[in-house]
Structure 1
Amino acid sequence: MKYIALILLVWMSSFQAGQDLYACKNARIALFSSAPIEDIAAASTSGTSVLNTTTGQLDFSVNISSFKFKKSLMQEHFNSEYLESDKYPKAVFKGKIQETINAAQNGTYPVTAVGELEVHGIKQSRTFPGKITVSNGTVSLAAEFMVKCADHDIKIPTIVFHNIAESIKINVNATYTLVPQSK
């Protein structure tokens, strides 16, 4: 009986070692613009992400229209005038984490993701710092970085130049679940 338990334990360990794909369907992505006249803040909790902890591949996507603002007029202008969400419905990041992550060992890992960020139809090569935390099988990611409006051809009319910052602070928080592997 002891031998069967040992064989099962070894088999389960090797089976789990091959599972390295994690997904998040409700990543929180927040943006913040600090300007002399008014601060602008919005958030979406419907970002999606896939993380492969073996290869480091990291993909994110968020629907632009899912960002919610405190003022409905800000939300309307954000979607229609600045990000043109009808024409460019998503912001997407496809990249790779440069550091090795051990999803089987609890800890916090400072990471750097290198890849391509597409916003408003414009792709830019970017490097983002962040951290991945592993806690009892749960993998989470947190990152904060700046995005310049000009880098993505987001035009700010001179009439509202003092209301919107040239660079927008982005905060990303995602908690991943292991994707079951087919046998």
Structure 2
Amino acid sequence: MKYIAIFLLAWMCSIKVGQDLYACKNARITLFSSAPIEDIDAASNSGTSVLNTATGEIAFSVNISSFKFKKSLMQEHFNSEYLESDKYPRATFKGKMQQAINPAQNGTYPVNVTGELEVHGVKQTRTLPGTITVNNGNISLNAEFMVKCADHNIEIPKIVFHNIAESIKITVTANYSPAK
């Protein structure tokens, strides 16, 4: 009987921990660059993310080669010449929300997340704004921020300088489910 009580207590604790963890396996991450000659627009629907509502920790990862462009040549140059996806296959962000959210309380929570953004092998501490929405137990995140190419040693050749902006707008949309 003593072992059953210990087992039940351990099981109930694991449920509590499990209820704090949420995962997203298909986050939509877009990038957009407006330049005088041509806009650059790409999207990936294969970003992954984990959110711990108890600690406020959040992590994202996206495979660079998963971004799809309207023009195949643009996609090829993005992967081979600019982001060098063979050498630096993923972009990641790991951080902690500065504001608490209550996953049991419906609402919209503006948040700032401070953490480490790694793109093109270069890590940079950033505070990124976002919005978390809780609706009947469903959690979603939306964020929009700028990334400067120079901050991550992404070189833009002078010959195409007018084709690519120095800063790229990143938009993230993630819908979370309880982690299993």
Q: Normalising to structure 2: TM-score of the pair?
A: 0.91
1 CA distance for matches of 2:28 and 2:93? 14
Change (3 A) 1:82 1:15: closer
1 CA distance for matches of 2:137 and 2:56? 17
- Identify the residue that residue 54 of structure 2 maps to in structure 1: 54
- Identify the residue that residue 87 of structure 1 maps to in structure 2: 87
Q: How much has 1:64 moved relative to structure 2? A: 0.1
Structure 2: give runs of 5+ residues left out of the alignment. 1-11
Equivalent residue of 2:74, what SS? helix
- Identify the residue that residue 41 of structure 2 maps to in structure 1: 41
- Identify the residue that residue 10 of structure 1 maps to in structure 2: none
Percentage of pairs with the same residue: 76
1:120 matched to 2:120 = yes
Which residues in structure 2 correspond to 1:75-154 (within 5 Å)? 75-154=75-154
Structure 1: give runs of 5+ residues left out of the alignment. 1-12
- Identify the residue that residue 32 of structure 1 maps to in structure 2: 32
Q: How much has 1:179 moved relative to structure 2? A: 1.2
Q: How much has 1:17 moved relative to structure 2? A: 5.0
Q: How much has 1:14 moved relative to structure 2? A: 9.0
Equivalent residue of 1:102, what SS? coil
1 CA distance for matches of 2:16 and 2:39? 46
2 CA distance for matches of 1:80 and 1:17? 45
* Structure 1 segments (4+ residues) deviating >2 Å: 13-18
Q: How much has 1:85 moved relative to structure 2? A: 0.0
Q: How much has 1:22 moved relative to structure 2? A: 0.2
Q: 1:81-114: per-residue Cα shift (whole Å, max 9, x none)?
A: 0000000000000100110010011100000000
Equivalent residue of 1:37, what SS? coil
Q: How much has 1:47 moved relative to structure 2? A: 0.1
Q: Normalising to structure 1: TM-score of the pair?
A: 0.89
1:155 matched to 2:169 = no
Q: 1:62-87: per-residue Cα shift (whole Å, max 9, x none)?
A: 00000000000000000000000000
**Alignment-mate amino acid for residue 67 of structure 1:** F
2 CA distance for matches of 1:174 and 1:76? 26
1 CA distance for matches of 2:82 and 2:69? 14
2 CA distance for matches of 1:155 and 1:125? 20
